[in-house]
Chains A and B, each alone.
Chain A
Amino acid sequence: MIVLKDLTKEFGKESNKVVALDNVSCELPQGKFISIVGKSGCGKSTLLNLIGGLEKPTSGSVIIDGVDLYAKKESELAYYRNKTIGYVFQDFYLEPELSVIDNVSVPLIIAGKKAQEISRLAQDRISALGLESKTNEPTKNLSGGQKQRVAIARALVADASIILADEPTGNLDSDNSSEVVAILRRLADEGKTVIMVTHNLEEARQADITVEMKDGKIVEIKDRQ
């Protein structure tokens, strides 16, 4: 269970302070496909980043499997990100000159896996996402949809249990968007916790649970199951 407790995140100093998250509390079950929707600036991405341990909250806590994320030390938090979280961003953040397999291997390298294992696991993930023919292709040569699949492969390669996707379809056409959402759906069906931030209500409907946000607060949680 992912428990958010009185979570507040403020940006800026006193005079021009912006409250991105305002005392948010909720419980999100694991192993589900969760979408977070809302208008721009409502705090969706901030919530995702706080769950992922990328940003520290101003106050409150994020408790995952009974452990307060922000009570951890910097090194423990880095370890948590490597072992538990997989990120997928709208802008992919791939290294364009490196091949697909090199990009996908990075979390495994950080985890300190051996070269053979890295190669095997990365290859498996690439194949699972239908990119085997592109394994040694520099990512700069790939289409947007292919790049996002590489990013998903990278997020999954270290066997993360939580996949955080921040507008993963934002830069993709409708066909590629559907494909990416379908992949995320499949991952949730396989038991991963997938949390996706999106503007697209159609995509959000693919999720098991939809969290709607407004002005830094959660206004509704819809559980379709």
Chain B
Amino acid sequence: MNRNSIFALAKQGLKANKKSTKTIIAMMAVSMIIIIPVFVLLMGVSVSMNAELNKAPYLLYLSASFEDYRQNEKGASRLAGYERADRRIVYEEYTLTDEFLSVEVNMIVEDREFSLAGETSNIAILDAEKSNILLPKNFDKAGGLFVEGCDEAFSGDGRGQIILSQALLDKLGLSAHDVYGKEVSIYANSRQQEVDGYVCYKYRVVGVIKSRFYNEFKKETEHPMRSWFFVVDTNVYRNDEPVLRLVGGSEGYANIADKVSLNQEQRYMMLDIGKSHFRNTSVYVEADSYRDLLLTKEGIADEHVGESAAFSGYRLLYKIAQSLGFMLMLTGIVLLIVTIAYYFLNVRFDVEKRKKYMMMLRAMGAQKQDLPKIYMVQAIIICAKASAIFATIGFGVCVGIKYAVNAVMKLGVPGAMTAISISWLSIIVPIIAMVALIFATAIFIGYASVKSVSKKEIIETLRGE
């Protein structure tokens, strides 16, 4: 049979089951209309929240009680335990130089070997003479030295202060005196200023981390390089006193903010790059490593603990959206499952009911393989109709939610937040994903249900055997 014939017979099949076809289309559309806006809303709020966080690099001035912090004979140090993917408990100890202790800084930049973990942050130190940059000597983009960590803690005008590690300086053949007070440019993931073809931003060197010690299984070993350090965790000192602590990282802002604002003292795993799993109050990562931090608001001045009003708004909205979303999502998913089950049963019932008619089709010249095709086309027609309805209404609902939420938030939250950014993409992607899902399911059901019937003998089936 040609394509037109299959399409015409599929249409006839739907006409023959008009009532159940309409019910299926309605159920599919309604379940999608419930599910899609929830996805979109959650995505939109989450994106907006992250954007807000990125706008405010100093959003989170957190202070840990810093029980691990201690003075030692080499300077100030802190001890943080972390567990590696291989489940070994590893402790690290920082020993900081005097210079570090005597100045106010806002970040620590870790050194790392580019090739160690195959990570791709290209942070390059460029030519000093041309751009007032230090540390140019051994720079080699392919396998040279890199500084990192600034990306998350810094943004805005791209200027700030920096502490470099002694290990890095050693590798470059420089001393702390060579770099202290000078400006370095750092290439970091499409940042603001371009120098010699690299996009850079600049820091004044205010300190050097002299050395670091790692205590692994209680055996003290010095590790010159680490590949996994991505989280920025900085203590800010004034006159030997820790005044505040800045915590940042590629992930975890929202989580930290959440926990701190609740004033919950709990063990918190600071993420490295990689997939994360939340379990109770801990975060586990699949990849390299993470740190275990104890975060409380204890011992810091109120003005240092804060977040923007907009962020507050987003977080409130996110929580509302999450709670509502959970209920709606559950309803939608249950409805979707019921729809699919109903569709499945309906197709099975229809196939059973029309078995003899299908054999008549074969008696009239249809081939075995034509029958599943007819049901597949039926599935496509049903899904296309349902999709057209839910995509149109779902899209409208999404846009409506976007504006409604904005309006409500502007009324109810002090320091009104900016609009939630629900992009077209975040609406279209879930819609396409859902359309693909129901198409795939329906086509599979349509095909699989008829396949076995189509193989039956014509006369035996007509006789009802």
The interface of chain A, by Cβ under 8 A from chain B, is 49, 52, 54-55, 74-75, 78-79, 81-83, 85, 87, 89, 91, 93-98, 102, 106-107, 109-112, 115, 154, 158
Contacts and interface: CB of A to CB of B under 8 A. Distances in A.
8 shortest A-B CB distances, which residue pairs? A82-B365, A93-B360, A97-B16, A110-B365, A112-B2, A107-B364, A78-B367, A109-B8
Contact of A54 (B9, B367, B459): B459
B32 to A, nearest CB: 28
B72 interface: no
B4 interface: yes
With most chain B CB atoms within 10 A of its CB, the pick from A78, A79, A109, A158 is: A109
B142 interface: no
Nearest to A111: B365
Contacts of B15: 97-98, 102
Given A55-B458, A95-B12, A112 B1 contact: yes
A79 B365 contact: yes
A136 B345 CA distance: 30
Contacts of B366: 78, 110
Contacts of A74: 367-368
Contacts of A79: 365
B16 A75 contact: no
A98 B459 contact: no
A158 B364 CA distance: 10
Interface of B: 1-2, 4-5, 8-9, 12, 15-18, 354, 356-357, 359-368, 457-459, 462
Given A89-B462, A93-B356, A110 B16 contact: no
Given A89-B462, A93-B359, 16 more contacts: A54-B458, A74-B367, A81-B364, A81-B365, A85-B363, A87-B360, A93-B357, A93-B462, A95-B12, A95-B16, A98-B12, A109-B9, A110-B5, A110-B9, A111-B365, A112-B5
A52 B1 CA distance: 19
B364 A110 contact: yes
Nearest to A93: B360
Contact of A98 (B5, B16, B359, B367): B16
A110 B459 CA distance: 19
Contacts, number: 78
Given A55-B458, A79-B365, A109 B360 contact: no
A95 B12 CA distance: 9
A102 B365 contact: no
23 contacts: A52-B363, A54-B459, A78-B362, A81-B363, A82-B364, A85-B363, A95-B12, A95-B16, A95-B354, A95-B357, A96-B16, A97-B17, A98-B16, A106-B9, A106-B12, A106-B361, A109-B8, A109-B9, A110-B1, A110-B361, A110-B365, A110-B366, A112-B4
Contact of B18 (A85, A96, A97): A97
Contacts of B357: 93-95
A91 B1 CA distance: 26
Residue with the greatest number of chain B CB neighbours at <10 A, chosen from A52, A96, A107: A107
B459 to A, nearest CB: 5
Contacts of B359: 93
B366 to A, nearest CB: 5
Contacts of B365: 78-79, 81-83, 107, 110-111, 158
Contacts of A154: 364
A79 B1 CA distance: 9
A119 to B, nearest CB: 12
Nearest to A110: B365
Contacts of A83: 365
A154 to B, nearest CB: 8
B350 to A, nearest CB: 11
A89 B364 CA distance: 12
A54 B363 contact: yes
A102 B17 CA distance: 14
Contacts of B354: 95
Of the listed residues B16, B364, B459, the one surrounded by the most CB atoms of chain A closer than 10 A to its CB is B364
A97 B19 CA distance: 11
Contacts of B458: 54-55
Contacts of A95: 12, 16, 354, 357
Nearest to A106: B364
Contacts of B356: 91, 93
A96 B360 CA distance: 14
B138 to A, nearest CB: 74
A115 B197 CA distance: 66
Given A83-B365, A102-B12, A109 B5 contact: yes
A116 B365 CA distance: 20
A69 to B, nearest CB: 14
A149 B419 CA distance: 69
Contacts of B4: 112
A128 B462 CA distance: 28
A193 B180 CA distance: 108
A49 B367 CA distance: 17
A206 B370 CA distance: 39
A55 B18 CA distance: 33
A93 B1 CA distance: 21
A100 to B, nearest CB: 13
Nearest to A87: B363
Nearest to B17: A97
A49 B458 CA distance: 10
